[in-house]
Amino acid sequence: MQKENPRMAKPPVVPASEWQAAREKLLVREKEMTRMRDALAAERRRMPWLAVEKDYAFEGPAGMLTLTDLFDGRRQLIVYRAFYEPGVEGWPDRGCKGCSMVADQVAKVVHLNARDTTLVFASRAPQEHIAQLKARMGWDIPWVTVTDSFDSDFDVGEWHGTNVFYRDDEGGIFRTYFIDNRGDEQMGGTWNYLDITPLGRQETWEDSPRDYPQTAPYRWWNWNDSYQHVEAAFRRGCC
């Protein structure tokens, strides 16, 4: 255990009533932050979209895949560019420390799948090494190999980052959002991922554009082994 620095400027120790008063004062600010976060997510859902005109190719465990394939039949796609490739510290036994911490925080992806959303990690490492790394680190995140200019075209050529895409009924694909740097450190939880998608959490309390899909909170929530409609997620040949 690390020893405490005796010169560390610690807060005062107070009676329970003063502690509770301080807690309630801070709670006002925290609720303001929550409302602001919800407002930002609502604004994000109204961002313009950028059409993806180029075809991209990825390698998955079962062979080559297109960007459309990465959606795995769903409406929304989140792609995190993780640094695991020759030249990264620890290669080939380990990936980037920061990207590995992101991977460690990723919740069960079936919750995203239940909201018509697929999460995929992408790196330039061969699939053989990705499979070994996932087994070693205990990750079950879908993970593909970038084979072309996808990373440089979407601002993650020399850095990590999270891109969000939407696929419409005609098969068109659109880039809807991008986050990197410290923005990536909040990723991993189901709610934070959904909050950066164009459809959001798809719950009735959200401020979303007209006719967006929405259901009541709790109505769609489930145990991670009980989503009947997403059981075949990895049987459709994605990753």
Model pTM score: 0.92
- Is 70 exceeded by the pLDDT of residue 236? no
Query: What is the dihedral angle through the alpha carbons of 121, 124, 127, 131, rounded to the nearest 10 degrees?
Result: -50
Separation of alpha carbons 46 and 162, rounded Å: 18
- Is 80 exceeded by the pLDDT of residue 235? no
- Is 80 exceeded by the pLDDT of residue 231? no
Q: In the chain, what are the domains?
A: 41-235 (3.40.30.10)
What is the longest distance spanned by two Cα atoms in the chain? 65
pLDDT at 5: 83
Q: Are 226 and 214 in contact (CB under 8 A)?
A: no
Q: What is the mean pLDDT of residues 42-54?
A: 97
Q: Are 230 and 114 in contact (CB under 8 A)?
A: yes
For 147-198, what is each residue's pLDDT tens digit? 999 999 999 988 899 999 999 999 999 999 999 999 888 999 999 999 999 9
Under 8 Å CB-to-CB from 225, ≥6 apart: which residues? Answer: none
Q: What percent of the chain has pLDDT over 70?
A: 95
**Tokens 């061969």 sit at which residue?**
126
The secondary structure element, H or E, covering residue 63 is: strand 63-66
pLDDT at 229: 56
Q: Are 177 and 185 in contact (CB under 8 A)?
A: no
Amino acid identity of 101? M
For 4-16, what is each residue's pLDDT tens digit? 888 889 999 999 9
Out of 175-179, 206-210, 214-218, least confident range: 214-218
Q: Are 119 and 142 in contact (CB under 8 A)?
A: yes
Q: What is the mean pLDDT of residues 12-22?
A: 97
For 73-106, what is each residue's pLDDT tens digit? 999 999 999 999 999 999 999 999 999 999 999 9
